[in-house]
DNA sequence: GAAACGCACCTTGTATACTAGTATTCTTTA
DNA sequence: TAAAGAATACTAGTATACAAGGTGCGTTTC
């Protein structure tokens, strides 16, 4: 019997949206482990719904690369693909470096307020040692910058590409030096506020280049979660 | 009665894959015009299949931003969103500029052969005045560069973001100076072959920056295809 | 004993019936 | 005549039945 963590269903939310949120949650929080078999029927009965919304969710997640569907055979949680992780790192480095330069040229005062509020909440999350909260605020920090520059879709694309890495990143959350990340965020924000283009780009690059610090270690620790060179 | 252009079904291809290719074809070739209402039932009967594969295709296309689904109301072909076009231009400029630099550092001989063959075919397409063929070869030219650098997923992301613009680009195909585009391709290729990093990047930037040359004109000519500022 | 066949059970793919919400249109009523 | 309301004909959302291919295990047969 398959066991999943269920999220509460929001008002006005369709069964499919709820199923999507729920299954995604179970994927990124490693309730469903990379390589595990997941059948539409099992998930449907685990969530108490029919196959249809589950299947439609599977299609979306397969398109995003989180599930591998083999027709008439089965569906499996995708293994972490290091090539994809590298593409995500490269993509983000290119785009966010340039975007933060744009942010220095024009940044609305509303967004400044939002960014400052976000930093306050980050500090709070650190003092409460709330890892998942800090993780969410980290994401939101970067999303605000993209959104202010009218580049929200690009942030979405980056986020999707990074979904593979995010799954194993949670495994090394305690090893993360939150204070360092926080101070980097502060430096990025103040550079934007003071319109110091060069410093903002440098700060962002430094912030992003140390992303794959421990990918090798994670691979050694959890080899079954990673895709082998030649593939399945 | 809805009328669609149908593609031939490949061997081993599922009904859904065929439906996806077919509907996508009708979208990018403006058989289905931006703003038009498309119901699952109509498309299903037009293709002689059931709602299920059509519906699953609609979900994919909605996720890619080519369809807007309003639950219990209807589904509409998405209007061209200029903000999205701009994001696509920015995204491509950032990523392909940097990628072509990588290509100068390392480019397999197989890919060189492929690129040269592609250029030959481009010349042929021009002499035959085959617009759609040249368009496809243009896409393939850029895909080869990304793929050789191990950045095929990034090319996919760029392509998806550009789907909005591509729909109206076909309207101005005859106005395109193919010879100029071709010579730019040649310059990019030779820069890569000769490992002239700076020149390759400059050539690529010049090639990409003149993308939105006539977006304003297209909007004037086909205003109903474009999204208004405030949205629907 | 080993290999080949066949059946039972699994998977996803497709079709269809039904649900529930929305828009339109026609009817009724003031 | 105009406005309100009910019936009807749509829409997408969900559930379910069936189809078709895949895997593995057990039996049968050589």
Q: pLDDT for A183-229, tens place per residue?
A: 999 999 999 999 999 999 999 999 998 766 678 888 999 999 999 86
CB B167 within 8 A of CB B135: no
Looking at every residue in chain A, the average pLDDT score rounds to 93
CB A22 within 8 A of CB A7: yes
Domain ranges of chain B: 15-77, 82-221
Look up tokens 């509907």; give the residue.
B23
Say how far apart CA B164 and CA B174 lie, in whole Å. Answer: 19
Architecture field, domain B82-221: Up-down Bundle (1.20)
Say how far apart CA A209 and CA A73 lie, in whole Å. Answer: 40
Tokens of A111: 């967004």
Q: Is the ipTM, as predicted for this complex, more than 0.85?
A: yes
pLDDT band at residue A232 under the 50/70/90 scheme: very low
Nearest protein residue to nucleotide C10 (CA to C1' distance) is: A73
**pLDDT digit string, tens, across residues A7-58:** 999 999 999 999 999 999 999 999 999 999 999 999 999 999 999 999 999 9
**Minimum-distance nucleotide, CA of B19 to C1':** C14
CB B193 within 8 A of CB B112: yes
Element holding A157 (H helix, E strand): helix A152-161
The reply to whether B166 has its C-beta less than 7 Å from any atom of strand D is: no
Q: Helical H runs in B128-213?
A: 131-148, 152-161, 163-169, 178-193, 197-209
How close B79 gets to chain A, by Cα (Å)?
16
Say how far apart CA A221 and CA B18 lie, in whole Å. Answer: 42
Total Cβ atoms within 10 A of residue B5: 10
CATH 2.60.120.10 fits A82-223, yes or no: no
**DSSP class per residue in A9-23:** PPTT--HHHHHHHHH
What average pLDDT does this structure show over B65-90? 96
- pLDDT at res. A231: 41
Footprint of strand C on the protein (CB under 7 A): A 38-42, 51-52, 55, 69-75; B 14-16, 49-53, 72-73
The alpha carbon of A64 is separated from its chain's Cα centroid by a whole number of angstroms, namely: 12
Question: Of the candidates A59, A150, A157, which has its C-beta nearest B56's C-beta?
Answer: A59
Q: Tell me whether residues B71 and A150 touch, CB distance under 8 A.
A: no
Half-sphere exposure for A210 (CA within 13 Å, toward CB) = 10
Q: Tell me whether residues A154 and B59 touch, CB distance under 8 A.
A: no
The reply to whether B51 has its C-beta less than 7 Å from any atom of strand D is: yes
Cα maximum dimension of chain A = 58
Interface test with A, best of B81, B91, B152, B229 (most A CBs within 10 A): B91
Percentage of chain B modeled with pLDDT above 90: 84
Interface test with B, best of A83, A87, A88, A92 (most B CBs within 10 A): A87
CB A19 within 8 A of CB A53: yes
How close B62 gets to chain A, by Cα (Å)?
10
Tokens of A94: 């290119």
Does residue B134 surpass a pLDDT of 60?
yes
Say how far apart CA B141 and CA B185 lie, in whole Å. Answer: 8
Assigned fold of A15-77: Arc Repressor Mutant, subunit A (1.10.10)
């Amino acid at each position: 019997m398959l066991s999943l963590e269920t999220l509460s269903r929001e008002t006005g939310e369709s069964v499919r949206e709820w199923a999507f949120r729920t299954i995604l949650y179970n994927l990124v929080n490693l309730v469903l482990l990379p390589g595990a078999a997941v059948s539409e029927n099992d998930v449907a009965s685990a969530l108490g719904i029919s196959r249809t919304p589950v299947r439609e969710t599977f299609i979306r997640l397969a398109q995003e690369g989180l599930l591998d569907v083999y027709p008439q055979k089965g569906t499996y949680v995708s293994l972490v693909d290091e090539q994809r992780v590298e593409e995500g790192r490269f993509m983000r480095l290119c785009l966010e470096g340039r975007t933060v330069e744009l942010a220095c040229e024009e940044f609305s005062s509303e967004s400044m307020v939002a960014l400052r509020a976000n930093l306050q909440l980050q500090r709070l999350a650190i003092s409460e040692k709330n890892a998942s909260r800090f993780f969410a605020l980290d994401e939101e920090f970067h999303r605000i910058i993209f959104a202010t520059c009218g580049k929200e879709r690009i942030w979405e694309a980056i986020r999707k590409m990074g979904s593979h890495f995010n799954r194993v990143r949670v495994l090394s959350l305690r090893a993360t030096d939150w204070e360092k990340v926080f101070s980097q965020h502060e430096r990025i924000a103040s550079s934007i506020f003071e319109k110091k283009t060069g410093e903002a780009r440098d700060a962002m690059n430094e912030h992003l280049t140390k992303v794959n610090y421990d990918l090798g270690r994670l691979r050694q620790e959890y080899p079954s979660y990673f895709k082998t060179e030649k593939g399945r």
